[in-house]
Structure 1
Amino acid sequence: MVLYPRTDFKLISTGVFSVFSRISVLTSHVYNCTNERNGYTCKCPTGFDGPRCDGDPCTSSEMLPQMEERSNPYSAIGSVTDENLAKAWYSAPEGMKMSDHAPPSGPACGAQNGLWSKMREGTSEYICLPFKDDTCKSMTTMKSMLCDGRRVYGIEKALWTSSYCFECRPDPIDLLFIQDVSSSVMKSVYDEMRLFIKYFVGDIDASQDAHNVALMTFAKEPKIAFHLNTYNTKTSIMSAIRSVNGTGGGTYLGKALELAASDIFTENNGDRGDSKNVVILLTDGRSKNTADVYKNVNALKGTAELFVVTSVISDMFADMPSSALSSNHVFTLSDTDGERFTRVILPDRFCNMAP
């Protein structure tokens, strides 16, 4: 179903989005469609979804073309021609989203008029033509969803030489650190792990509305230091990290992964349903009961994306099936390719423009 603007917005009909008043242009999958002011609603048959009832947006989308041009607010007129876009689900590269502010006056994003998103409310994006003082003109709606880190849009073609503007504006992540504090971890390695967490958190936008952070430690038993919603400022998060100390004892990583999967990423403990879940495991690469580790890596995979930062690439990780943990998700503390790690973990630093 397509959602509609709230009544506190003034709508000005200019014909730029004329497709929304023409149900006849939709595919034959659509039925029970009702015209609305500046839009329509459709009841889709079982198994279909989307602006044209054309399937699951996460599997039926294609990459929106000309992303480099449409992400440049000053790109020349004519390099993007969205009036030729077919009505369909389109995905954007990870970290890229529709601009949330008006582009510069005049030609923008490869066309005469750059379209931008006034706001997102649930699965509805409120799309505007630029107007003076960053106000919204001719607002209409489209549906958008998050699919495996990429945002997918139900785009109808734009008329009057308009293009959809995009920028590097990723969704916040819910981030869990799991630190090995068992007796097998040498003090020098323990100190490197703690510095890694300190610098990583210090280098991101950690706050209630941006990246949320949780911390666990493990030895013989796992322990939750704080949940995703315990602290909402970088200062309080950093203070809590400094207060956590090692305990020593045996190394049971499997138990920690099991607790992470069952307890951390829940609504009561701060998980945001529309945010990507990421786990960074810091370990020396050793653990009791490796079969339990493999089992719980697979269990966690259904909840979050796991990255390992280890002092050595032990057999436990080297022999792990790639279906459970990809080799490009395993790093060493001495890894000097910091940019590669940042690109993988923090798409807000380097939006991935590759399809």
Structure 2
Amino acid sequence: MTIDKQQFHWERLMLDSECMMLDDQDMAEEWIVRVEGKEYGPADIETLREWKREGRLLPENEARKAGADLWSAAAAIPGLFNVGPIASASVPRPTQPPLETRHRSFGQILVETLQIYRKGFFRFLGLTLLVLLPSLVSQAMTAVAQTGRSSDADVRVLAAGAFALLMFVLSTVMWPVYIAGIQIVTAEIAGGRRSGLVAALNEAVRFWPRVAALCIFVYGVFFLLIVFGLVIAAMALAGGSSLLLILFALGLLFLQVWMFGRFFVNVLFWQQFAVLENAAFIDSLRDSRNLAHSGRDLPWFKRPLWRGAFIASLWFAFVLAVTLVSEWTTFHHYFDQLMTTQDPQALLQRLTEAQQARGFDVSAFVLNLVQKILQPLLGIAFVVLYLDSKIHLER
């Protein structure tokens, strides 16, 4: 046997052994493929190769590992469309396969949001308790203070007020950790990775200074815009029958609504860029604005801007419904008093007495608690929307 034949023989043996090792490794994994919106599987690598030979599976079809949520191109499955060095010469292998080859529909974003929330429920609940527990403890202390004896009622009320202020400060301090934790846990679950709550908290604490600064800026601007709107409303009421002042107030109100909507769009994805991209303060705001205004080649209802507005509208509608249901009796009583009482001072006194006589409302407390527990859904939905929007931006 010549040297060339020996070399060819050894190269062939090495190639066969590599393929066998690859086959043994792939046999332990099962995949789910999605073709024209329908999912098939789980299937092992041999079944996938058979589908490929039959022309039922193409490299651009979507695929994911069984038990994972992250979709990629079928071309990225090891050993399926690109086996060994011989195949790599004819079929170029992408250096970094895309996370998703096609846009999720709005319904798919909502479904994936619910799936992620279900899989990480206890981790999301733990993050929620960071900001919810101080509020619950404060309400409990206030209820205890109101049931005290009249002799020491003032001391109890003062102590309850101081404790409530302390709990409010604690909840505010933990809010940036909560925001960062939602981003981290959602990204971990969406990527098919699992990490505990403690690990997520340790990671979230690192982002506290940046997220806290962004919270102060973003929420501060929203607060000022709301105050601006209230000032405009007060101006319109004070104007009375002055047509010129009413028109001026309407013009300012239009400006306030435009500024509010514009700012809302620009900061749509600041949380995701600040945490998931580890972007700096200014970069988070700039990248958020760029991503929100991307997708101009898509239909308007598929653009990140409108999808984000739809998601926020759904959540605010849910919050409004919960608030109306929990406070319906109070609103109804306020309306009756407003229609029957002409004296403003007497009206205020009656409303105050009614609020004190109402005491602790269990049904309202439970509904508000459910709302807080479900609140991570909003953050999860925006992370899923962010991941989906980034695909189109990077293509």
Q: TM-score, normalised by structure 2?
A: 0.24
Larger-Rg structure: 2
Q: TM-score, normalised by structure 1?
A: 0.26
Q: Which structure features the higher share of helix residues? A: 2
Indicate the structure with greater strand content: 1
